[in-house]
Homo-oligomer: A and B are copies of this chain.
Amino acid sequence: MDQQNDHQSPPDDLHQILLLRPPPVFTIHEHYFSNKFHILKAYESPLPTHDFLREYAQSVKVVLCSAARPITADIIRELPALELVVSQATGLNHIDMAECRRRGISVTNIGDVFSDDVADAAVGLFIDVMRRITAGDRFVRHGSWPVSGEYSLGFKLGGKKVGIVGLGNIGLRVAIRLDAMGCIVSYTSRQQKHSTTFTFYPNVLHLASNCDALIVCCSLTNATRHMINNTVMRALGKQGVIVNVARGAIIDEVELVKCLVEGEIGGAGLDVFENEPNVPKELFGLDNVVLLPHRTGFTTESFHDAAQVLLSNLEAFFTNKPLLTPISSEF
């Protein structure tokens, strides 16, 4: 009984924040949050999630969510007092936005905090695939250099036509970086961006037909799911390189693996996958792919900044001030 009371009422006047699963920024900087809020950790409770949610159903106004544990319509329905979903991600495909809109629940993302780091890592993946850096590192560590006279040539970046898929906060930063390296940058996006001089193509197939590489930087929505399909990959061609720092499901992963294994495209740098943390095993033996565990935004500095954005949104909510990084209801 005591324990139940302890569960239902915070030990002092701290506001409740529900976590179904801790997002990485919380894991690293938990003390920032636990000093200011009463954290309800569903993932540490012996109760099944459903029972845990029912216990706090009337009091929980805020969920801090992790991309690894989607906020589905079912979960939202179990929380009738919910008013705010706070995400540490840039993309919000793990939140049922339609249900949030219907219920008038506010949603915040992380804003621009990760954009520079994701753009840097996208460029890093692109250089890595083109210039075979990770493959070269394996070659040296395996002790092959002194015994093999083979010269494995990569490809020059300068003069390559690179298509940015989605010229938002991240895509634009990638474009600027590649432009400085002498790449010829073009893009496709929901609308043409008149603030840039990069060449616009109305769709990804046109873009792929005119490019040596695609860097995928757009949101995952119903319109972009499997947008990079077999036709697009064949249009990119046998030397073509794909980098994905957005969401795995924007690419038809089964087709991507097939194209890579069969040499229908030239290589790939992938931070994201359709069924994370599972990566298609066929990729593990390929030297022309570079594989990251969804962490192009993961730096010490961005995590510190992200924690501040999360805290600012939470504090704004509880003091009835404007949210720092709200997602507009048209999203």
Binding site for B on A (CB under 8 A): 24, 27-28, 116-117, 120-121, 123-125, 127-128, 130-131, 133-134, 136-137, 139-141, 145-146, 151-159, 176-177, 179-182, 276-279, 284, 290-293, 295-296, 298-303
- Shortest 3 CB-CB contacts between residues of A and residues of B: A124-B127, A180-B180, A156-B301
Say whether, besides A121-B127, A140-B291, A290-B133, A300 and B116 are in contact (CB < 8 Å): no
Instruction: Chain B residues near A24: list those with CB within 8 A.
Output: 151
Say whether, besides A154-B298, A176-B180, A124 and B116 are in contact (CB < 8 Å): no
Cβ 8 A contact of A153, one of B141, B145, B157, B298? B298
Oligomer copy total? 2
Say whether, besides A127-B127, A301-B155, A293 and B181 are in contact (CB < 8 Å): no
Say whether, besides A158-B116, A181-B120, A137 and B292 are in contact (CB < 8 Å): yes
Instruction: Pick 9 A–B contacts, CB within 8 A, sort by A.
Output: A117-B131, A124-B128, A131-B299, A137-B292, A156-B299, A156-B300, A158-B301, A176-B180, A177-B181
Cβ 8 A contact of A151, one of B27, B125, B181? B27
Instruction: Chain B residues near A136: list those with CB within 8 A.
Output: 291-293, 295
Once the chains are docked, how many angstroms separate the CA of A290 from the CA of B137? 6
Once the chains are docked, how many angstroms separate the CA of A117 from the CA of B160? 12
Instruction: Chain B residues near A124: list those with CB within 8 A.
Output: 124, 127-128, 131, 133
Cβ 8 A contact of A120, one of B27, B131, B134, B296? B131
